[in-house]
Structure 1
Amino acid sequence: MTVIGIISLDNYDDIIDKMDDKNISLLNTLVTTMISDWANEYHIFYKRVNTDRYFFVASMNEFEQIKEKKFDILQRLKESNTNSEFVLTMSMGVAYGHSSMEKIGEVAQNNLDMALARGGDQVVLKDADSQAKPQFFGGQTEGTIRRTRTRSRAMSTSLKKIFSENKKIFIMGHRYPDMDAIGSAFGVAALAQFNQKECYVIIEQDEVTEDTERCLTEINKHPEIAKLIFSGKKALEYIDDDSVLVMVDYNRPSLSISKEAFEAFDKIMIIDHHRRGEEFPDHPLLTYVEPASSSASELVAELIQFQSNKRKKVPKFIAGLLLSGIYVDTKSFFTRTTAQTFQMASYLKSHGADLTLVRYLLSSDLNSYLQMSELVARSEYITKNIVVAAASENEIYDNVTASKAADTLLSMNDIEAAFVITKQFEHEISINARSSGGVNVQRIMEKLGGGGHFSNAATQIKDQSMKEVQKSLINELKKLDDKE
């Protein structure tokens, strides 16, 4: 059985950017020697393709040994360059099977794309001959891949081209959208209008949280923006061969506001900041998934920046929605921020984003605060630095309240990860997970059918009781503790 792998140095360009030629040469020698020694140890044939990419072929027998050691070369590489301003990391896409070399290589490339879309510093492994789920190794640190303005500009150009080839642009976020989903959706609508295209934002107005309902009330004060909102059922009446769907703030089809509307589209684009999981749309026209970004609103704001000019300006109200989206996902700029996050916030403020509106949209009422406090009070330690709060079986909470409870727990001293379990629908239990960076909550949520970010993830579990879900979560956390 043949094994094909592709190795990518995630942040090679960032690291060599400030190096002189001598140190670049030393780094190249270090990496090549390490990969060469690793290949010789397991009798692997490898070839350097370019400065930051390698290709290898192995037999299954030797590869099983690599799996047993959980691809320890990832950790070896990180430990070898600790003196650098940035830690160099690598990702691998690996596939095996009895298929043709072309097929195995194609699956390996897809696996590498998934590893990079999940933030890098990990291996994605999959059998090319079956529908088996991919296996993940590594990913124990925050994503090291940083988007560049060159990539953002290229995405803006690609998006503009796709818009030009279609007449109708539909935009949809995830179920029970938060401010990031709302803000990024209307930001994409502004981009569509820049390109003189019909655009529609799909929202089910009877399936929103109190925060989003407050936002929709404000949107209704702007008729030119409110008229863009369609329900999934109404959208189905307008979808045709010249229509394209833009998914914002999510990349798993099962989380769509309207599954019927999603399935009606042949052409799909994705703008998201959540790590890519196993579930993903087939053959999207454009994939702009950036786990290193704070929010989908930040990504959309940058796309707007590239396409706006004196005649095409983002409406002030939409600028406010985008800024609200960034505020929500960064917890008011306390988490997951980069220099680009602040640049985009500054850009939106300079284009009329109203901070008074932002504060209003993000404010909590007394009832929500009391519910959040009750959840926090029900928390208990599972390990010395991980807490779980499980709500009462009889209470139903909205996602925003559960998220705020998880954030509050994480802000407390000595807590590295917090999990809040709530019933959000009659037959559905949700877990909101947060981490300060020491625990990969995305991997834990994936084990329970969910996903998200390294430090911010969630899952929804149907037809199980609160106690059953709590038991499953605690079992996963104990496995984590045993590994340590």
Structure 2
Amino acid sequence: MTAIGIISIDNYDDVIDKLDDKESSYLNTMITSIISDWASEHQIFYKRINAERHFFVASEADIEKMQSQKFDILSNFKDQAHKRELLLTMSMGIAYGNGSLKLIGEIAQDNLDLALIRGGDQVVIKDDQLDSKPIFFGGNSDGTIKRTRVRSKAMSTALKRVMQENDQIFIMGHRFPDMDAFGASFGIASLAKMIHKKCWIILNREEITPELQRCINELKQYPELESLLISDQEALTMLNEKSVLVMVDYHRPSMSISQAVYDAFEKIVVIDHHRRGEEYPNKPLLNYIEASASSASELVAELLEYQTNAEIRLSKFVATMMLAGMYVDTKNFTFRSSSRTFDIASYLKAQGADATQVQYLLSSDLDSYLEMSQLISTSQYIAPRIVCAIGLEDRIYGRVTTAKAADTLVSMVGVEAAFVITKQAEEIIGISARSMGNVNVQKIMEALEGGGHFTNAATKIKGQSLEKVRKMLFNEVEKLELS
């Protein structure tokens, strides 16, 4: 079977802009030498498309050999770039099969796009069968690809155009939404209001965490915002052919607040900051997934920043909710916080975000704190620098409590990664996973049908006991190559 691969040098444009001609020449020589040596080792044909793109043609046997070596070219390239103090990594999309070369090439390009959306520094392989699943290698860097203001502005313009072409905007986050999903949803609603479009936010009031309920209670002081909240049943009676659904803070259809609502829409927009997984909407109108962003609220605030309307300004409480969302996903700006993250936080403050109110929205009650402390007390090391805590068999824990326990554990000295396993509903066991950056917890959670970020991920498993899930997790942790 024929295989086609496309190689991309991540962040090449950003790096090359800062180099003089001599340094640029050295960099291009380094890139070409590494890829050429690798191609010669595997006896494959390769061709340089431009400074940052190469493609190659190989056999299935060649790909199997590369897989057996776990695509060590990724780590070799990253090491060479690191020695030169360059933030460069490599990504590949590879496809193979008995189909036409056109089809195989298109799948290879799709696989490369998926690798880049997931943060780069990885290889995605998939054959040409529709029902086959992609295989991932690498991904050992936390979102190496930087988003640019040019792309953000283009996305803001594109989203505005999609809204202008439709009459009704429906916004939906993931099940059991957190402050990031909730704040970002109101941010999208604000953007719709700026261009005078009708919009609603879909919410299942039976899946509200105590923290989110506190925010909803505050919304009663802002009837114009509270009126935007509707149920899934209300949404189903309102939508028409000029309606569009905006998925916020998630991209897996199975995580939708309402599967029925998702299935009812033909026009879908995706705005998310989690690394893209295999499950994904089919042909969305607009796809804005940025794994380098700290939160969905950061992404949405950036989109709002490029929209201007002298008559309609961003509500102070919406700015506060979005800032709270950023607080949640960055752990008070200690994780996944870039200079752009602080720029956006500054923008929200300028729009009237209240940091004191943020603290109130995110505060815990005594019972939740004691429950979290009980969870932490069960923790034990399951591998060097990796700990796991397990909840009681007869107790149902909130998602936020489970997540906060994992956050607390990973903040302790000597802990590189933490997993907290709890019963979150009848027949549902959840795992919250956190990492300091040396362990890719996203890959572990993906192996257990979950997902998330390099340092922050989770999963839900149905129909299994706590003990069974514990063994499943331990099996995946044992596969790690710990230094």
* Length-normalised TM-score, structure 2: 0.98
- Describe how 1:173-322 pairs up with structure 2 within 5 A: 173-322=173-322
Which AA in structure 2 matches 1:90? M
Q: For the Cα contact (< 8 Å) 1:121–1:141, is it kept in 2?
A: yes
For structure 2, the residue ranges without an aligned partner over 5 or more in a row are none
| Alpha-carbon separation, structure 2, partners of 1:367 and 1:84 | 52
For 1:380, the aligned partner's letter is: Q
Paired residue secondary structure (1:6): strand
SS of corresponding position for 2:323: helix
Alpha-carbon distance in 2 for matches of 1:152, 1:253: 24
The Cα of 1:448 is off from its aligned counterpart by 0.4
Matched, 1:72 2:65: no
Measured against aligned partners, the alpha-carbon deviations of 1:102-127 in whole angstroms (never above 9, x if no partner) come to: 11111111111111111100000001
| Cα distance between partner residues in 2 of 1:68 and 1:22 | 37
Does the residue aligned with 1:93 lie in a helix, a strand or coil? strand
Preserved CA contact (<8 Å) 2:443 2:451: yes
Q: Could you tell me which residue of structure 2 aligns to residue 107 of structure 1?
A: 107
Partner of 1:416: 416
1:236 corresponds to which letter in structure 2? L
Q: In the alignment, which residue of structure 2 is the partner of 1:32?
A: 32
Amino acid at match of 2:182: I
Structure 2: how far apart are the matches of 1:446 and 1:40? 34
SS in 2 for 1:49: strand
How far apart, CA to CA, are the structure 1 residues paired with 2:162 and 2:19? 38
**Equivalent residue, structure 2, for 1:360:** 360
- Map Cα deviations across residues 18-37 of structure 1 (whole Å, 9 max, x no partner): 11111011101110111111
SS for the counterpart of 1:459 is strand
1:453 has 2:457 as partner: no
Tell me the equivalent position of 1:388: 388
Secondary structure of 2:313's partner? coil
Question: In the aligned structure 2, how far is the partner of 1:103 from the partner of 1:321?
Answer: 45
Distance in structure 2 (CA, Å) of the matches to 1:411 and 1:290 = 25
Identity of aligned residues (%): 57
- Contact 1:98/1:129 (CA < 8 Å) preserved in 2? no
User: In the aligned structure 2, how far is the partner of 1:117 from the partner of 1:375?
Assistant: 34
Cα deviation 1:191-214 (Å, max 9, x = unaligned)? 011111110100111211000111
Matches within 5 A, 1:322-361: 322-361=322-361
- For the residues of structure 2 that align with 1:201 and 1:369, how far apart are their CA atoms? 30
2:161 is the alignment partner of 1:161: yes
Q: Is the 8 A contact 2:46 2:57 kept in 1?
A: yes
2:221 alignment partner AA: K
- Contact 2:119/2:292, CA 8 A, preserved across alignment: yes
Superposed CA deviations along residues 305-344 of structure 1, whole A, max 9, x for unmatched, are 0002433321111111111100111111111100011011
2: distance between equivalents of 1:84 and 1:332?
32
CA distance in structure 1 between the partners assigned to 2:8 and 2:51 by the alignment: 9
Q: Structure 1 counterpart of 2:204, which letter?
A: E
Question: 1:221, 1:49 → 2: CA distance?
Answer: 58
SS, match of residue 82 in structure 1: helix
Q: In the alignment, residue 227 of structure 2 is paired with which amino acid?
A: K
Runs of 4 or more above 6 Å deviation: none
Q: How far apart are 1:61 and its partner, in Å?
A: 2.0
Residue identity in the other structure for 1:307: Q
- Aligned counterpart, 1:479: 479
Asked if the contact 2:423–2:430 (Cα under 8 Å) also holds between the matched residues in 1, the reply is yes
SS in 1 for 2:140: coil
What is the match of residue 52 of structure 1?
52
2: CA distance between counterparts of 1:220 and 1:127?
Answer: 52
Determine the C-alpha separation between the residues in 1 that align with 2:322 and 2:152: 17
Match of 2:437 in 1: 437
| Residues 389-448 of structure 1, C-alpha deviations (whole Å, 9 max, x = no match) | 010111111111000000000010010000000111111000000000010000000000
Contact 1:47/1:56 (CA < 8 Å) preserved in 2? yes
Counterpart in 2 of 1:138? 138
SS at match of 2:396: coil
Note if contact 1:15-1:85 (Cα within 8 Å) is conserved in structure 2: no
Alpha-carbon displacement from aligned partner over 1:130-185 (angstroms, at most 9, x marks no partner)? 41211000011211101110110010011111111111111100000000000000
What is the SS of the residue equivalent to 2:413?
Answer: coil
1:84 is displaced (CA, Å) by 3.4
Q: Which residue of 2 aligns with 1:374?
A: 374
Give the whole-Å Cα distance in 1 for the aligned partners of 2:184 and 2:249. Answer: 7
Measured in 2, the distance between the counterparts of 1:424 and 1:174 equals 16
For the residues of structure 1 that align with 2:367 and 2:80, how far apart are their CA atoms?
52
- Structure 1: 5+ residue runs without aligned partners? none
Rounded Cα–Cα distance in structure 2 between residues aligned with 1:86 and 1:260: 47
Aligned position for 1:2: 2
2:151 is matched with 151
| Worse-matched range after superposition: 10-19 or 398-407 | 10-19
What letter is aligned with 1:201? I
Letter in 2 for 1:308: T
Are 1:44 and 1:58, in contact at CA under 8 Å, matched by a contact in 2? yes
What count of residue pairs does the alignment treat as equivalent? 483
Query: 464-473 or 127-136: which moved more?
Result: 127-136
Query: Which residue identity lines up with residue 475 of structure 1 in the other structure?
Result: N
Moved more, 45-54 or 242-251: 45-54
Counterpart amino acid of residue 464 in structure 1: Q
Rounded to whole Å, the distance in 2 between the matches of 1:84 and 1:221 is 55
Aligned partners of 2:118 and 2:143 also within 8 Å = yes
Per the alignment, residue 83 of structure 1 pairs with: 83
CA contact (8 A) 2:194 2:309 kept: no
Structure 1 residue 129: deviation in Å? Answer: 2.3
